[in-house]
Structure 1
Amino acid sequence: MNRVLLSLALLAGPFVTVQAQTAPAAPTEPRTIETITATSSKGYSIRVPSGWTPLKNVPGADVAFINKTIGALRPTVTVVVQDIPAELKATLADVRDINERRMPEVVTKLKFLGEKNVKVSGQPAILWSYTGDGEGGTVRWTQIFTLKNNRLYTATLMLPSGTPADLAEQGRAILTSMTLK
C-alpha cells in the first residue's frame, strides 16, 4: 500500500529527470558567475564554477544552471527537491524502483548505463547514468538522488553529445559537491 501512495506522491511532483533544453534562438549575452556555493533554504548546497549561468523559473527545479551551447543543446544542472509524506515511510530503494519504472515513459530511446551506491553528506544516495534523446539531440544524464528527513533531493546533469571532457567534468563536480544541511 505504501508503494502505491509513494508513487502517487512522486507523480504529484516533478519527475527527477529534467529534459534537455534547446538553446535559445537568439541568445543574449549570458551572465557568468565566479565559483559560488548555491545554498538553498530547502536544506542543501552545491558549488558552481564560473561559466555556468543560473536559470530562473525552471518548472519543478529548485535551482538550475546552464553552460555554452553544444550543437543545439546546452549542458544543464538542476536540483529538484520533493517532500514525501512521513506516513509513507519511503526508503531510497522505493524511490529508486518507482523512478526506474517511470524512466522509459519520460526518456525516449533510454539506455541505462549504470547505477552506483554513493553517499551525500553521509546519507545513502544512488548515482545513475543513462542516455536518450533530448529536445535536439542525444544526451547523457548523470543523476544523484538521496532522501533525508522525508525530503528527496535529486541533482541532474544533462550533457549533449559532443560535450568537451573538461565541461563534462565540471558538471560532474557540481553534482558531487552537493551537501545536505
Structure 2
Amino acid sequence: MTRFAPSLPLLALALLALPILPSAHAQTAPATTTAPATAPTGERIINAITVTSTQGYKITVPGGWTPLKNAPNVDVAFVGALRPTVTVTVSDTPPELKVTLADMRDLYASQMPKDVPKLKMLGEKIIKVSGQNAVLWSYTGDGDGGKVRWTQVFTLKNNRLYTVNFVAPVNTPQNLLDSGRAILDSFALTAK
C-alpha cells in the first residue's frame, strides 16, 4: 500500500528515480570481457578490489569479477563468470521533498511490476548499512536471457539514494551466488 498521495513534487521524484530501478534487460547483458583464471608467469593475481567512490560509498569485489566500463546509468558495475552482475547506482533527491526510505521503498515497489516481467518477490528485510536503515529485497523475474534473481539493497543518506543490485541467472552455481552476496555485504557508506 502506498504511504503517500501522488503529487507533482513526488511525480518529479518518481521520474528522477526511474533510471535506477532494475531493468530486466540492462542488468543481464552478457559480459564482453572475462578475468583470466590464472595469471601468466611474472604477473600478479588480483584477489580483491575495493572501490571507493567520490559518490560517498565503498564496495569490495573479489578476484574473478571484471569491471564493466561505460555501463549505462550506474556508478560502477562488475560482471562475474556466467553473467552475474553487481551494479551501484547513486541518485540525489531534491532536499525540499524530504524523501524517506519508506517513500523510496513504496516508489520502487509500485514500479517493479512494470519493469520486471513475471516478478516474484522472495523476501524483504530492513538491514543496516553503515548505521543507516536499508531495504534488502530478493526477487525473481524474466531477464534478457531467461529467468534471473535479483538481490537489491537500497538506502538513503543526506538526500542521496544508493542502490546496489546483484543479478544472476537462476541456475548460477552457489559459489558465485555467495561471492555476489559478499559484494553486497561489503557495501558501506563513506559520506558524512
Residues 1:129 and 2:138 aligned together: yes
Residue correspondence of structure 1 range 37-76 to structure 2 within 5 A: 37-69=50-82, 74-76=83-85
Residues 1:16 and 2:25 aligned together: no
CA distance in 2, matches of 1:3, 1:67: 40
CA RMSD of aligned residues (A): 1.9
Deviation at 1:2, TM superposition (A): 8.1
Give identity over the alignment, percent.
55
Deviation at 1:57, TM superposition (A): 1.3
The structure whose Rg is larger is 2
1:58–1:64: 8 Å Cα contact kept in structure 2? yes
Residue of structure 2 in register with 1:171 after alignment: 180
TM-score by length of 2: 0.85
1:131–1:139: 8 Å Cα contact kept in structure 2? yes
- Alignment counterpart, residue 145 of structure 1, candidates 154, 159, 170: 154
Aligned length: 175
Residue aligned with 1:169, SS: helix
1:16–1:80: 8 Å Cα contact kept in structure 2? no
Residue of structure 1 in register with 2:111 after alignment: 102
Residue aligned with 2:112, SS: helix
Deviation at 1:171, TM superposition (A): 0.2
2:23–2:115: 8 Å Cα contact kept in structure 1? no
Residue aligned with 1:109, SS: coil
Deviations 1:55-91 (A, max 9, x none): 011111000000112xxxx100000000001000000
Residue of structure 2 in register with 1:113 after alignment: 122
| Structure 1 gap ranges (5+) | none
Residue aligned with 1:108, SS: coil
Residue of structure 2 in register with 1:80 after alignment: 89
2:86–2:180: 8 Å Cα contact kept in structure 1? yes
- Alignment counterpart, residue 169 of structure 2, candidates 160, 171, 174: 160
Residue aligned with 1:170, SS: helix
Residue aligned with 2:118, SS: strand
Deviation at 1:40, TM superposition (A): 0.5
Deviations 1:106-133 (A, max 9, x none): 0000001110000000000000000000
1:31–1:53: 8 Å Cα contact kept in structure 2? no
Deviation at 1:161, TM superposition (A): 1.5
Residue of structure 1 in register with 2:47 after alignment: 34
CA distance in 2, matches of 1:28, 1:60: 20
| Structure 2 gap ranges (5+) | 38-45
Aligned structure 1 segments of 4 or more residues deviating by more than 3 angstroms: 1-4, 27-33
CA distance in 1, matches of 2:101, 2:34: 41
